[in-house]
Amino acid sequence: MRGLSRMVLLVPPLTYHLVPRTEWEAADPSQPYQPAAFAQDGFVHCTDTAAEVANTANRYFWAVSDELLALVIDQARLSAPVRYEDPAGIYPHIYGPVERAAIVHVVIMPRAPDGTFLPPA
């Protein structure tokens, strides 16, 4: 059609979800993952890019003494809808459980000597 352009939204294939180790280890590995806050929030909070997940960890998990993990989630493997509802388009929400097959890595969030979280490798 003339005069119309196509807009294509490129969704990063991978996103991160932060979870304290004790919460992750308490989850039933035979079931899709749902964080403890899912019942209250109605979705799984995620963050795109390693640098931004470190910023998120410093903003919300600074005082957590438990080891913090980042679940690396392949969005293409999710059956639940994913919505980017923030203006910057870097904080996706997953509106359903996360299939274990979609969790492609679990990494420890590294900390600097002063306790600041660093981007995962």
**What CATH topology corresponds to 14-108?**
ADP-ribosylation fold (3.20.170)
pLDDT tens digits for range 41-62: 999 999 999 999 999 999 999 9
pLDDT tens digits for range 32-43: 999 999 999 999
Q: Give the start-to-end residue ranges of the domains of the chain.
A: 14-108
- Mean pLDDT for all residues in the chain: 91
pTM > 0.95: no
1 pLDDT higher than 60: no
Dihedral pair phi/psi, residue 78, rounded to 5°? -85, 140
Please give the pLDDT value at position 121. 84
Q: Give the DSSP letter of residue 67.
A: P
The residue whose two tokens read 């963050």 is 47
Lookup: tokens for 95:
């509106």
Measure the CA–CA gap between 94 and 116, rounded to whole angstroms.
27
